[in-house]
Structure 1
Amino acid sequence: MQLHSFFNSSTSYRVRIALALKGLAYDTLPVNIRIGEHRAADYVANVNPSASVPALVDGDFKLGQSLAIIDYLDRTHPEPRLIPLEPVARARVLEFASLISCDIHPVNNLRVLRYLETELKVTPQQKTAWYRHWIAEGMAGAERMLERSNEGPWCFGAQPTLADVSLVPQIANALRMDCDLSAYPRCLAVYEHASKHPAFAAAQPQRQPDYIA
């Protein structure tokens, strides 16, 4: 397998965690989204029509979008399963992962922040305020979900799931942007627990071959 990835992309980070948890070997093909490599004509035409990272190549099969990739990996390499089969557990995990992937990430990703700067001409202070606002909105919801259902040490029980795979990169990004996360102790406890797990550690941005300090 091959993974088209950028070290600091939280969506790529999710897939790297999933691959590591499942013990799957893959080659990293770096795509530098900071300089627009994800928009290159060859990449869009032959790898990922959504012009984004990550993209997984498994033989002749190519797939973009991190949640679709993780679901595919769960179907083709089901151990350990990241999206539970039991209906209630599955629903809770997907609910939590959707909060991260639909409510927080889309409004704070690189292309949105660049649009704020280049097209709407917001100041650096306004861009930071935007980022921190949507982190606070989303993380408050995540914390309430864990208050309702968290049994620890992971988001939903004794094993990591798609919920943890989604949460950890989002917290890493928020910390990188100097967001105050002290109001979300359950989320932070999961993050700290995950940081000690070899699969989560191996997927960290600073351990990737395309890492830029």
Structure 2
Amino acid sequence: MKLHGYYRSSTSYRLRIALELKALEYESVPVNLLKGEQKGEAFRGRNPFATVPMLEAGGRDRAQSMALIEWLDEAYPDAPLLPSTPEDRYTARELTYAIATELHAPLNLPVLKFLKEEYGKSQDEVGKWYRHWLAKTLVPVEARLAQLGSGDFLFDTPGIFEVVLLPQLYNARRFEYDLGNSPHMTRIETACLALETFQRAHPDNQPDSPENGPEKV
């Protein structure tokens, strides 16, 4: 497998976690979003969405992180990312898709660039936008976790919810979102980051991270 992605792209981060939890070997192929490499003719010809991640697997190029995660769970059923019972699968999906569907669209890089370039918004204004939409979804996610009495993970082991939660909290910290009132999410985050699987998937440990080379992006 070859994973085409960007080190701090939340969707690329999701897929790295999923691959690590399933103990699947893959080669990282960096795509620099800030330089627009995903918009190049060669990449767009393979992935019409011109987005990351793109996974070369099973004889084809595959896009869209949530579809990829579910495909991985079906194609490689060991270490499942979804729980075994319908009720637990519903709970995992409710929380996972709240983050994946409500937050990615208004907070991804093209939207933030559009706010700056087309509407002349400052970085402070973009940050305010980012934190507003984070709160709209993360506050009820935290409330649901409190209702469920979640522990270190949503269920016994990390799964699809943690796959999606950890990258969003990484970005929340980048944009100075206050997680002080989110004890359940931050407890899950701490428990996940203590695991080698999550450490290997972390943006700081990717080949295109500025932490691993002289080039700043």
TM over 0.5: yes
Residues 91-130 of structure 1: pairs in structure 2 closer than 5 A:
91-130=90-129
- The change in CA–CA distance for 1:150 and 1:73 in structure 2 (over 3 A counts) is farther
SS at 1:119's partner residue?
helix
Tell me the distance in 2 between the aligned counterparts of 1:105 and 1:29: 22
Residues 13-32 of structure 1: pairs in structure 2 closer than 5 A:
13-32=13-32
SS at 2:29's partner residue?
strand
Tell me the distance in 1 between the aligned counterparts of 2:202 and 2:85: 30
Query: Structure 1 residue 39 and structure 2 residue 39: aligned?
Result: yes
Tell me the distance in 2 between the aligned counterparts of 1:59 and 1:158: 30
SS at 2:119's partner residue?
coil
CA deviation string 1:57-114 (max 9, x = no partner): 1141221111111111101111210022421111111111111111112211111100
Q: Structure 1: give runs of 5+ residues left out of the alignment.
A: none
One-letter amino acid of the structure 1 residue matched with residue 121 of structure 2: V
SS at 2:62's partner residue?
strand
Residues 169-184 of structure 1: pairs in structure 2 closer than 5 A:
169-184=167-182
CA deviation string 1:16-35 (max 9, x = no partner): 00101111111111111111
Tell me the distance in 2 between the aligned counterparts of 1:65 and 1:131: 22
State the 1:148 CA deviation: 2.0
How high is the TM-score relative to the length of structure 1?
0.95
Identity of aligned residues (%): 36
How many residues align structurally? 211
SS at 2:55's partner residue?
strand
Bigger drift between 110-119 and 78-87 goes to: 78-87
Q: Structure 2: give runs of 5+ residues left out of the alignment.
A: 212-217
Residues 119-158 of structure 1: pairs in structure 2 closer than 5 A:
119-155=118-154, 157-158=155-156
How high is the TM-score relative to the length of structure 2?
0.94
One-letter amino acid of the structure 1 residue matched with residue 85 of structure 2: E
In angstroms, what is the RMSD of aligned CA positions? 1.1
State the 1:151 CA deviation: 3.1
Aligned to 2:68: 69
Tell me the distance in 2 between the aligned counterparts of 1:12 and 1:176: 16
State the 1:150 CA deviation: 3.9
Aligned to 1:204: 202
Aligned to 2:10: 10
State the 1:39 CA deviation: 0.9
SS at 1:125's partner residue?
helix
